[in-house]
Structure 1
Amino acid sequence: MIRFKPGASRWVPPRFLSRAFTLSVPVAWGATAVAYRMTCPLARDDALGARLVSSAVLCTVVTGLVMHVRGGLLREVRRARAVAEAAQDALLRPPPPRVDGLAVAAVHLPADREARIGGDLYEVIATEHGVRALIGDVRGHGAGALRTVAAVLGSFREAAHDEAELAGVLRRLERAMARHLRERVAAESDPAVAEEFVTVLLLEILPDGEVRALNCGHPWPYRLTGARAEPLARADPLPPLGPFPLPAELPALPCGRLLPGDALVLHTDGAEEARDREGRFFPLQDVLTEVARTRRPTPPGAVLRSVLTALLRHSVDPPKDDVALLVLSDERTIRRPAPDHHERARLRAR
């Protein structure tokens, strides 16, 4: 039966015809070799010239078979890569350009240039509790890291709306990560999987610009304010999510206010660990300071372009580790006061 793709006029052959087309080339080459051997007089001639002709014919047949197999393998690799990229794009979807008064831009450079699958993750969500942002870094690359990214992002996208406090969001991420590792250990029968971990940074930006953070082993972001770039905080982070239990109390760290025109640059450690020929690390803070000095306000897209240009110029080769950058710039000019305890309770009761 002839089948057509929905909404398209191009004919799609049935599966058995596709397999027949795939086998037709090697069968044809084999039939050519057999026919030459059985019917051509040169194939039975012991003269040197006849042997050279026979060798050339056999080499041509073998080359054709090898090229056909190679072409099939390359097509399979391209299809697998396309599926992996589609899965990556579905998980690490681009953030919207604006989220509740904040301009947003993000970029992800995976270290695995062939598979294009990385272990970095980020997300920005507007909730009734404020704008909540996540950035993280899974240890490792490949399909295993992608599954961990899916578990963490899926949990965050639900918990960011459900949990009134930032600590509740982090607890949900911790439980999701523990459940994910248990399932992987059971499925892969590899005890080493239980040692996998992910660093995460959670930010909460309230309507009045107040910033709160919970950091589990991740680099602190930079705040671009005035003409300088400075770390958002210098407190010791909590342990990464995975085999390390979090403490019983998880108070969110106050990090001041994000003023109109200021920007926050969240990044993974691959951005600061890129090296040049002399082994020097990429000076991310210096680059951001130059951006803050020359631009006011600081559009997220311009920040990303400046950092990526400097990073690629600094690195002789592509970065050895995944690089993710997430920039949040405050474009609000009129502040409304942050809801007090009673107002937040009333909003949650809606």
Structure 2
Amino acid sequence: MIRIKARAPTARGAVLPTVWGAVAVGYKFGCPLAQQNGLGARIVTSAVFFAVGTGLIFHVRRSLLRELRQARRVAGAAQSVLLRPPPPRLDGLNVAAAQLSADRGAAIGGDLYEAVATEHGVRVVMGDVRGHGLAALGTAAALLGSFREAAHDETELARVLRRLERAHARHLRERCRADHPASGQEPGPPVAEEFVTVLLLEIARDGEVRALNCGHPWPYLLSGARVEPLSRADPLPPLGPFPLPAELEARPCGRLLPGESLVLFTDGAEDARDARGRFFSLPTVLREVVGTHPVTPQTVLRTVFAALLHHTSGTPTDDVAVLVLRNDRGRSRLSCLGARDSDTCGSAARAGPSSTDPQPTTRP
């Protein structure tokens, strides 16, 4: 548990209020003008006490702002440990991520993401806890901690999801027990309002992508000039309201070819509205991005967040997280390089070799 301890008022901080108070008392009882009842004397007395009150207000305001800046620095350091930025490269993948909190003063909110390189491939999690701001940090911390361990330990992606489900349920029970310590009873099942959407991806060395989706938006695939969802399959229910099915199996989602990118995001991106109630069109912005050269994860992030802030007039109502991965593995050895129709070539490669093709093409 992270505790932020407020510093006790020091003698130095009490000097100015003491001086201002002494001036006011000295004027009231030591100055002959303060004893008079004339209009001029009353005006002077009012001016003196107004100056004293103004000075005390500014002093208190300055002290509060100083303490607030200190608390934000401590909270920012703790939050950076929780939602640490991913490394720029992971096993040949170019990675970039950023998060925008709807709460002023909070570096992160209810969104979570992580990408780690394991012996099973690069594994990625993107999640969205119900609610936003500091209240959702506990759930995000529980899930991220579980993922960082399970991603390396578990050979199957389905077992990673099982670990996340158990971590989420355990966190809700502990929080319920902490909220009602005097009940002396074991907490009941979590309420339906406490849920989190989770997307798990596994990108193998050959680019094969496998996914498990619990109520989260599917990422977009950037391939050449095309922007399309990675999958259109119905996701599983979010973690929390209902238990996961007894049989879990990661869904194959084709291959992420060299030069292609995946854009993972939380629903705050597509649910953002402008002043007229129009939703933010993430695919439209991504199509504008792929029209520029070269398309890097950093370029995608800058363009998406700039367009999102412009759409919402700088005041998004929900947390937004975006994570971009581009396959930079062996781009120089891509067999389709130099073909006239690169889009057609990429589609054929993702579909895999045909049953009638006697010499299937191998890729890194």
Taking structure 1 as the reference length, the TM-score comes to: 0.86
Query: C-alpha displacement at 1:293, in angstroms?
Result: 4.2
Deviates more, 1:172-181 or 1:137-146: 137-146
Equivalent residue, structure 2, for 1:106: 97
Equivalent residue, structure 2, for 1:275: 273
1:168 equivalent to 2:166? Answer: no
Deviates more, 1:221-230 or 1:300-309: 300-309
Percent of residue pairs identical: 67
1:204 equivalent to 2:195? Answer: no
Which residue identity does 1:263 align to in structure 2?
A: S
In structure 2, distance between residues paired with 1:116 and 1:294: 30
Task: Tell me, yes or no, if the aligned pair for 1:201 and 1:214 is still in contact at 8 Å.
Answer: yes
Q: Deviations over 1:207-247 (max 9, x none)?
A: 11110000111100001113201101111111111232111
1:228 equivalent to 2:219? Answer: no
- What are the within-5 Å matches in structure 2 for residues 333-348 of structure 1? 333=330
* Equivalent of residue 120 in structure 2, options 129, 135, 140: 129
Task: Tell me, yes or no, if the aligned pair for 2:108 and 2:133 is still in contact at 8 Å.
Answer: yes
Cα-Cα RMSD: 2.1
- What are the within-5 Å matches in structure 2 for residues 182-193 of structure 1? 182-189=173-180
1:325 equivalent to 2:316? Answer: no
In structure 2, distance between residues paired with 1:208 and 1:115: 39
Task: Tell me, yes or no, if the aligned pair for 1:121 and 1:149 is still in contact at 8 Å.
Answer: yes
Other structure's SS at 2:276 match: coil
Equivalent residue, structure 2, for 1:341: none
* Equivalent of residue 289 in structure 1, options 265, 277, 287: 287
Task: Tell me, yes or no, if the aligned pair for 2:190 and 2:240 is still in contact at 8 Å.
Answer: no
1:149 equivalent to 2:140? Answer: yes
Other structure's SS at 1:104 match: strand
Task: Tell me, yes or no, if the aligned pair for 1:84 and 1:117 is still in contact at 8 Å.
Answer: no
In structure 2, distance between residues paired with 1:251 and 1:163: 14
* Structure 1 stretches of at least 4 aligned residues deviating more than 4 Å after TM superposition: 190-194
In structure 2, distance between residues paired with 1:168 and 1:212: 13
Equivalent residue, structure 2, for 1:313: 310
Other structure's SS at 2:217 match: coil
Deviates more, 1:78-87 or 1:218-227: 78-87
Equivalent residue, structure 2, for 1:82: 73
Query: C-alpha displacement at 1:271, in angstroms?
Result: 1.0
Task: Tell me, yes or no, if the aligned pair for 2:101 and 2:133 is still in contact at 8 Å.
Answer: no
Equivalent residue, structure 2, for 1:248: 246
Query: C-alpha displacement at 1:74, in angstroms?
Result: 1.8
Q: Deviations over 1:308-328 (max 9, x none)?
A: 233233333422111111000
Equivalent residue, structure 2, for 1:219: 217
May I ask how many residue pairs the two structures share in their alignment? 319
In structure 2, distance between residues paired with 1:124 and 1:275: 29
Equivalent residue, structure 2, for 1:304: 301
* Equivalent of residue 61 in structure 1, options 40, 49, 52: 52
Deviates more, 1:34-43 or 1:80-89: 80-89
Which residue identity does 2:289 align to in structure 1?
A: V
In structure 2, distance between residues paired with 1:238 and 1:114: 34
Which residue identity does 2:15 align to in structure 1?
A: S
Q: Deviations over 1:94-142 (max 9, x none)?
A: 1111000100011111111233331111111000011000111111122
Equivalent residue, structure 1, for 2:345: none
Task: Tell me, yes or no, if the aligned pair for 2:132 and 2:318 is still in contact at 8 Å.
Answer: no
1:28 equivalent to 2:25? Answer: no
Structure 2 unaligned residues grouped into runs of 5+: 1-6, 182-186, 335-364
* Equivalent of residue 257 in structure 2, options 223, 237, 259: 259
Other structure's SS at 2:26 match: helix
In structure 2, distance between residues paired with 1:232 and 1:239: 18
In structure 2, distance between residues paired with 1:253 and 1:168: 14
Which residue identity does 1:280 align to in structure 2?
A: R
- What are the within-5 Å matches in structure 2 for residues 87-98 of structure 1? 87-98=78-89
Task: Tell me, yes or no, if the aligned pair for 2:269 and 2:280 is still in contact at 8 Å.
Answer: yes
Equivalent residue, structure 1, for 2:341: none
Query: C-alpha displacement at 1:288, in angstroms?
Result: 1.6
Q: Deviations over 1:38-59 (max 9, x none)?
A: 2111121122211211111111
Change (3 A) 1:72 1:265: same
Structure 1 unaligned residues grouped into runs of 5+: 1-14, 336-350
